[in-house]
């Protein structure tokens, strides 16, 4: 009786995981399957004259190692300085980052660049969304964007967004973000490819349906839209996903621009511990957004289903982790009919398909950025694929545990600037022609 | 004034080559534009023609054959017993074909009895599959040739050739495999630029292989087609990789099934063909055995391929085989000479050549193995015909007239040669082809009726497979009726029910040529006890028509070597 129940549950979970996995595969390959979407997602070939003014918010916490380079790259962007204002946002206790930011501000002033300020807050909570709200209140330019402390933005990115916003009359533009240090550790290639598929493919489908969890940076908002929304939710660990859903509820069209040349470059977390903590935060943030329920106000059923599918994804990952454990048990302890076994192994085929897609994605990514993966990379990817899924499942379970127990602190991800080190060639940085 | 939005041609995301991103799908190699009203009209004519030529007389001609019975029997096992075969499944064929048949039968209101004899249920499926194949063949031929007329010509031969009709009416796996291969080719020639389409093409091909393994001989042509088709596309890596994965994943299910049954490898890893392993059947041993079967190649004039081509295939349609093969060779030469401009010819020729090589390679060939060749010979004829017509005249009206004259000449008898639909009988009269007038399965229906009326249900019967489902599925069930293959091969039937002892046999139901088959198969004297039973049997029923002889024998357990006729129903030819 108990065994029968176990088998029935296993079949149900197996079929659901197969469907979930197949749909995820579809989302990962959406723009390769619909090539016209990929073509339309690219940056304009010709830029319009700069017209929009930008506020660049740079929230930072304990980012002494990378903050100066990031500021430098923003200030040296190919855009008129009078149309840019940059604000580094820190909590008062982060003396080190504040000192490094002030130091850089002083250096820039000597060069006559004065549009940088450091905004310091001393009230809580000490997290990114609170910092962003502080930054929003202390700035004035027409378009607000977020750049994380370790980001390498492309110098032409403001021209891209200026042109898109003027041409297409959109108030929100999400540009591509890409992890670059794909050979740093056993998990980095898989992490890099998650970003690759997310920004190059999946987000376009979300945008088309009008149900999009936005990325954490290189997202450009018309200030009035942000003000109308009341800024970021300071209790949410993934304020970016949350604000994306709320913007979708408002019916604002989000334009996703993905162009390999213009992606914002980031790094994978330096250690497995940091990676787990980062992924835990994301999973918990998605759960918080799911529980909060703003997505239920999306007007169309397909939008609500997509939002629920996306925000509930950590649950699927947690189930997948348990599924692996149950599978191992059943493999050695349970004898089931052959047809049942054939059904139970369906998720394995989807897992294999995901691995193949990831493998091909590696070479797509490498080609796009003119990199040459070593022969070890695909081997490490293959060997690390299941452990990586296990890590994601563990992070999802950890997130669920934290959420159930009301633990909501912001676990910071350390940045060491690995994407700025050797092996990652900064290519194709020449801006397109300005009309 | 803002400049128009343009796509940067240098941002293709691929290193080493600049591609026209305004045509990100790549330049279409084959014509996939809508066919328009005339094209749809021709397609409709092709479908109606196929329905008429294959549907009319479907249940009456040709004679039910053993293989039809085997696949219906296995579909029966899927539905009634949840197994791949009612006996030990020995991996002689992959099961996708009869799984499809089982799915079809399970949808029918009275399942196996819906259309009378059980095999008829399968023949209706063959008709539907043929119509689907006609549609696909039309699309494939049109894409490869760029000509609706060529597509129509291909479907004409596929629909009307007596060779095609004869075997396409039969419930054989090859017909189902042809459908999956055509679907795969049709998807592979699509220029929609999607990743999904090559994946589906790969999946369809995987199912084709699991339907009938000789589909693998289409791999070279299909790979060339698919890889060439996606080569200019930005998504080529995903298209290629996932198409292959889809095909391999589906085929791997078969091997996985064998692993689960602990039947992948033979006991003690014994691959010795002269002393087969005992204990359990094994997929890899069966494959090994099939790879080593040899019954003569094309250079051996006594081989089966010569026997069937000269004895069975050419008499049914010489024109299709000769002109089709010649067209294939010409297309192959033209295609190799100018791959860019004659891509369609090259692919059509490769598709047909791959299978031709399989038939000629030297192994077991059964009569209906010609089935997968027919559509691809037809495509080659369509493509060559289009080229010849273009040299004849550039005017469409003239081309249509030439095609119409050719088709009319093929349909009716000219001189002493028979047409596709009308033939001359021995008195010189023009009559319909046997396909449309002879009732052969009616003879088998009489034999079945005799069994039901004269033989008790608990009798131990040795027979052929064509009545198996009828005798096991309808009440009263003849659960001790088994085919001679199982009586000599399946341990349960051979050793427990009959114990290899002729006195345990009550009746022998002889189908046409069953005796020949048993004699040819008696290489290890495994049939000796059945022949002994026959020697002790009395013929209680016989029916003859032309070369067909159906019999029922009752074994006389207390009588020695007495063979005499009791009842003789003779239908003279």
pLDDT digits 0-9 by tens, A112-142: 888 899 999 998 788 899 999 999 999 999 9
- The residue out of B243, B267, B286 marking a domain boundary is B286
Check pLDDT > 90 for residue A3. Answer: no
CA distance A284 to chain B (A): 32
Q: Is residue B539 part of a domain?
A: yes
B245·A44 Cβ contact <8 A? no
Instruction: Report whether B123 contacts B169 (CB < 8 A).
Output: yes
Check pLDDT > 50 for residue B324. Answer: yes
Summarize pLDDT for B279-289 with one digit per residue, the tens: 788 888 888 88
Q: What is the ipTM of this complex?
A: 0.88
Check pLDDT > 60 for residue B66. Answer: yes
What is the 3-class SS of B164-179, one letter each residue? HHHHHCCCCHHHHHHH
CA distance B185 to chain A (A): 19
- The residue out of B251, B286, B321 marking a domain boundary is B286
Instruction: Report whether B370 contacts B422 (CB < 8 A).
Output: no
- Give the per-residue pLDDT at B252: 95
Q: Is some CB atom of chain A closer than 8 A to the CB atom of B237?
A: yes
- Residue A324 vs residue B375, higher pLDDT: B375
Instruction: Report whether B311 contacts B185 (CB < 8 A).
Output: no
CA distance B230 to chain A (A): 12
Across residues B9-33, what is the average pLDDT?
45
A34·B196 Cβ contact <8 A? no
DSSP string, B6-19: ---TT--S-TT---
Q: Is some CB atom of chain A closer than 8 A to the CB atom of B78?
A: no
- Give the per-residue pLDDT at B289: 82
A33·B256 Cβ contact <8 A? no
Check pLDDT > 70 for residue A433. Answer: no
Summarize pLDDT for B388-434 with one digit per residue, the tens: 888 877 777 777 777 887 887 777 777 666 788 888 888 888 888 99
Q: Is residue B372 part of a domain?
A: no
Quickly state the pLDDT bin for B562 (edges 50, 70, 90).
Answer: very low
Per-residue CA distances from B273 to A325, B290, B521 (Å): 43, 10, 16
Summarize pLDDT for B67-125 with one digit per residue, the tens: 999 999 999 999 999 999 999 898 999 999 999 999 999 999 999 999 999 999 999 99
The one-character DSSP state at B61 is S
**Taking CB atoms and an 8 Å cutoff, what residues of chain A touch B21?**
39, 42
- Give the per-residue pLDDT at B96: 96
CA gap B132, B125 in Å, rounded: 11
Q: Is residue B153 part of a domain?
A: yes
- Least Cα distance to B79 among B108, B54, B50, B103 occurs for B103
| Residue ranges making up the domain that contains B525 | 441-570
Helix/strand/coil for A233: coil
Q: Is some CB atom of chain B closer than 8 A to the CB atom of A115?
A: no
Q: What is the mean pLDDT of chain B?
A: 86
Residue ranges of B 352-381 with Cβ closer than 8 A to chain A: none
Interface test with B, best of A23, A31, A33 (most B CBs within 10 A): A33
A33·B13 Cβ contact <8 A? no
Check pLDDT > 90 for residue A420. Answer: no
Q: What is the mean pLDDT of chain A?
A: 89
Task: Indicate the residue of B194, B253, B261 with minimum beta-carbon distance to A33.
Answer: B194
Of the candidate ranges A354-363, A400-409, B164-173, B297-306, the one whose mean pLDDT is the lowest: B297-306
Q: Is some CB atom of chain A closer than 8 A to the CB atom of B274?
A: no
Q: Is residue B408 part of a domain?
A: no
Q: Is some CB atom of chain A closer than 8 A to the CB atom of B264?
A: no
CA distance B23 to chain A (A): 9
pTM score of the predicted model:
0.88
CA distance B74 to chain A (A): 17
Across residues A145-172, what is the average pLDDT?
93
Across residues A286-309, what is the average pLDDT?
95
Q: Is residue B528 part of a domain?
A: yes
Across residues B221-236, what is the average pLDDT?
93
B257·A342 Cβ contact <8 A? yes
Task: Indicate the residue of A34, A353, A367 with minimum beta-carbon distance to B14.
Answer: A367
A360·B241 Cβ contact <8 A? yes
Across residues A61-71, what is the average pLDDT?
89
CA distance B208 to chain A (A): 19
Q: Is some CB atom of chain A closer than 8 A to the CB atom of B83?
A: no
**Taking CB atoms and an 8 Å cutoff, what residues of chain B touch A35?**
24-25, 193-194, 233-235
- Give the per-residue pLDDT at A180: 92
Summarize pLDDT for A241-251 with one digit per residue, the tens: 999 999 999 99
User: Which tokens sit at B36?
Assistant: 């328009």
A43·B8 Cβ contact <8 A? yes
Alpha helices in A230-345 (DSSP H): 239-250, 272-292, 301-311, 313-333, 338-344
- In chain A, what percentage of residues exceed pLDDT 70? 94
Summarize pLDDT for A324-358 with one digit per residue, the tens: 777 778 777 878 888 888 888 898 899 999 999 99
Cβ-Cβ pairs closer than 8 A, A with B, add up to 85
- Least Cα distance to A416 among A99, A210, A181 occurs for A181
- Give the per-residue pLDDT at B550: 93
- Give the per-residue pLDDT at A416: 60
A42·B8 Cβ contact <8 A? yes
Of the candidate ranges A23-27, B16-20, B278-282, the one whose mean pLDDT is the lowest: B16-20
Task: Indicate the residue of A259, A338, A353 with minimum beta-carbon distance to B11.
Answer: A259
Residue ranges of A 356-375 with Cβ closer than 8 A to chain B: 356-357, 359-360, 363-364, 367-368, 370
Q: Is some CB atom of chain A closer than 8 A to the CB atom of B45?
A: no
Q: Is residue B166 part of a domain?
A: yes
Across residues A97-104, what is the average pLDDT?
93
List of residues 6+ apart from B133 with CB closer than 8 A:
B158, B175, B178, B179, B182, B375
Across residues A286-297, what is the average pLDDT?
95
Check pLDDT > 80 for residue B300. Answer: no
Check pLDDT > 70 for residue A431. Answer: no
A 10 A CB-CB count for A230 gives 10
Helix/strand/coil for A222: strand
- The residue out of B227, B257, B286 marking a domain boundary is B286
Q: Is residue B566 part of a domain?
A: yes
CA distance A194 to chain B (A): 16
**How many separate domains does chain B show?**
2
Q: Is residue B264 part of a domain?
A: yes
Across residues B467-491, what is the average pLDDT?
92
**Taking CB atoms and an 8 Å cutoff, what residues of chain B touch A338?**
257, 260-261
- H or E element in which residue B377 lies: helix B373-392
Check pLDDT > 50 for residue A176. Answer: yes
CA gap B529, B460 in Å, rounded: 14
Summarize pLDDT for A397-413 with one digit per residue, the tens: 999 999 999 887 777 66
- In chain B, what percentage of residues exceed pLDDT 70? 90
- Give the per-residue pLDDT at A414: 63
Task: Indicate the residue of A46, A345, A360 with minimum beta-carbon distance to B237.
Answer: A360
- Give the per-residue pLDDT at A255: 95
Of the candidate ranges A156-170, A187-201, B356-370, B398-412, the one whose mean pLDDT is the lowest: B398-412
């Amino acid at each position: 009786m108990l065994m029968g129940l176990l088998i029935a549950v296993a079949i149900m979970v197996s079929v659901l995981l197969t469907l979930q996995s197949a749909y995820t595969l579809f989302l990962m390959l959406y723009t390769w399957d619909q090539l016209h979407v990929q073509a339309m997602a690219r940056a304009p070939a010709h830029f319009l004259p700069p017209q929009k003014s930008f506020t660049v918010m740079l929230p930072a916490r304990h980012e002494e190692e990378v903050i100066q380079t990031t500021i430098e790259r923003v200030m040296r962007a190919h855009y008129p300085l009078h149309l840019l204002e940059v604000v580094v946002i820190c909590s008062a206790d982060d003396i080190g980052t504040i000192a490094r930011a002030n130091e850089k501000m002083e250096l820039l002033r000597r060069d006559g660049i004065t549009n940088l300020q450091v905004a310091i807050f001393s009230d809580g909570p000490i997290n990114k969304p609170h910092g962003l709200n502080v930054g929003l209140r202390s700035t004035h330019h027409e378009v607000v964007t977020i750049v994380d402390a370790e980001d390498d933005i492309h110098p032409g990115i403001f021209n891209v967004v200026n042109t898109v916003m003027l041409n297409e009359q959109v108030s929100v533009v999400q540009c591509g973000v890409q992890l670059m240090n794909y050979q740093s550790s056993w998990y980095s290639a898989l992490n890099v490819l998650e970003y690759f598929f997310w920004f190059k493919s999946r987000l376009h489908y979300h945008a088309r349906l009008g149900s999009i969890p936005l990325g954490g940076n290189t997202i450009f908002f018309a200030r009035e839209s942000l003000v109308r929304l009341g800024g970021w939710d300071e209790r949410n660990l993934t304020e970016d996903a949350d604000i994306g859903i709320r913007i979708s509820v408002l019916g604002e069209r989000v334009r996703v621009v993905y162009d390999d040349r213009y992606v914002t470059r980031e790094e994978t977390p330096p250690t497995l511990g940091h990676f787990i903590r980062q992924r835990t935060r994301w999973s918990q943030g998605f759960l918080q957004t799911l529980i909060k329920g703003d997505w239920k106000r999306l007007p169309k059923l397909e939008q609500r289903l997509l939002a629920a599918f996306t925000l509930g994804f950590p649950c699927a990952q947690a189930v997948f982790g348990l599924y692996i454990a149950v599978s191992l048990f059943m493999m050695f302890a349970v004898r089931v009919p052959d047809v049942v076994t054939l059904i139970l192994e369906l998720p394995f085929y989807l897992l294999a398909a995901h691995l193949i897609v990831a493998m091909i994605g590696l070479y797509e990514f490498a080609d796009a950025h003119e990199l040459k993966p070593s022969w070890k990379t695909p081997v490490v990817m293959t060997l690390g694929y299941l452990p990586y899924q296990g890590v994601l499942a563990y992070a999802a379970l950890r997130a669920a545990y934290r959420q159930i127990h009301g633990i909501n602190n912001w676990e910071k991800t350390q940045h060491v600037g690995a994407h700025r080190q050797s092996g990652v060639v900064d290519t194709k940085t020449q801006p397109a022609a300005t009309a | 004034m803002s400049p128009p939005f343009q796509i940067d041609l240098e941002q293709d995301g691929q290193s080493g080559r600049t591609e026209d991103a305004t045509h990100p799908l790549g330049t279409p190699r084959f014509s996939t534009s809508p066919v328009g009203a005339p094209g749809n009209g021709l397609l409709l004519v092709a479908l109606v023609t196929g329905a008429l030529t294959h549907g009319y007389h479907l249940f009456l001609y040709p004679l039910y054959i053993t293989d039809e019975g085997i696949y219906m029997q296995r579909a029966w096992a899927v539905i009634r017993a949840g197994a791949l075969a009612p006996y030990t499944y020995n991996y002689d064929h992959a099961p996708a074909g009869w799984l499809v048949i089982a799915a079809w039968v399970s949808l029918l209101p009275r399942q196996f009895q819906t259309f009378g004899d059980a095999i008829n249920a399968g023949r209706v499926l063959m008709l539907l599959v043929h119509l689907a194949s006609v549609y696909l063949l039309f699309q494939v031929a049109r894409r490869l040739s760029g000509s609706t007329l060529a597509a129509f010509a291909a479907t004409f031969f596929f629909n009307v050739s007596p060779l095609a009709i004869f075997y396409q009416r039969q419930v054989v796996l090859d017909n189902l495999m042809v459908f999956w291969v055509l679907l795969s080719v049709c998807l592979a020639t699509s220029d929609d630029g999607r990743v999904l389409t090559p994946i589906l093409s790969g999946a369809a091909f995987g199912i084709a292989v699991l339907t009938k393994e000789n589909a693998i001989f289409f791999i070279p042509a299909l790979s060339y087609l698919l890889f060439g088709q996606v080569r200019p596309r930005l998504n080529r890596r995903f298209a290629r990789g996932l198409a292959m994965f889809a095909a391999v994943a589906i085929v791997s299910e078969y091997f996985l099934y064998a692993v689960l049954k602990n039947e992948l490898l033979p006991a003690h890893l014994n691959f010795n063909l002269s002393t087969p392993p005992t204990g359990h059947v094994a997929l890899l041993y069966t494959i090994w055995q099939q790879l080593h079967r040899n019954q003569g190649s094309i250079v051996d004039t006594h081989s089966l391929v010569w026997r069937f081509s000269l004895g069975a295939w050419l008499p049914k349609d010489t024109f299709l085989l000769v002109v089709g093969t010649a067209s294939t060779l010409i297309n192959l030469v033209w295609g190799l000479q100018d791959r860019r401009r004659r891509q369609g010819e090259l692919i059509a020729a490769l598709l047909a050549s791959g299978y031709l090589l399989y038939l000629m390679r030297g192994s077991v060939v059964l009569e209906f193995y010609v089935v997968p060749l027919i559509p691809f010979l037809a495509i080659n004829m369509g493509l060559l015909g289009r080229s010849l017509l273009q040299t004849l005249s550039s005017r469409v009206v003239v081309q249509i007239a030439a095609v119409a004259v050719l088709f009319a000449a093929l349909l009716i008898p000219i001189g002493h040669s028979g047409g596709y639909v009308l033939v001359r009988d021995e008195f010189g009269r023009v009559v319909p082809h046997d396909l449309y007038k002879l009732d052969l399965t009616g003879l088998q229906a009489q034999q079945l009726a005799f069994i039901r009326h004269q033989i008790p249900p608990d009798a131990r019967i040795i027979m052929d497979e064509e009545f198996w489902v009828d005798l096991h599925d309808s009440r009263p069930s003849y659960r001790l009726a088994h085919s001679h293959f199982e009586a000599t091969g399946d341990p349960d039937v051979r050793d427990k029910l009959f114990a290899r002892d002729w006195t345990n046999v009550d009746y022998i139901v002889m189908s046409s040529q069953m005796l020949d088959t048993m004699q040819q198969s008696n290489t290890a004297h495994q049939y000796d006890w059945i022949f002994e039973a026959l020697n002790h049997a009395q013929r209680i029923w016989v029916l003859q028509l032309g070369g067909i002889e159906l019999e029922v024998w009752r074994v006389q357990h207390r009588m020695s070597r007495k063979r005499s006729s009791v009842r003789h129903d003779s239908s003279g030819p």
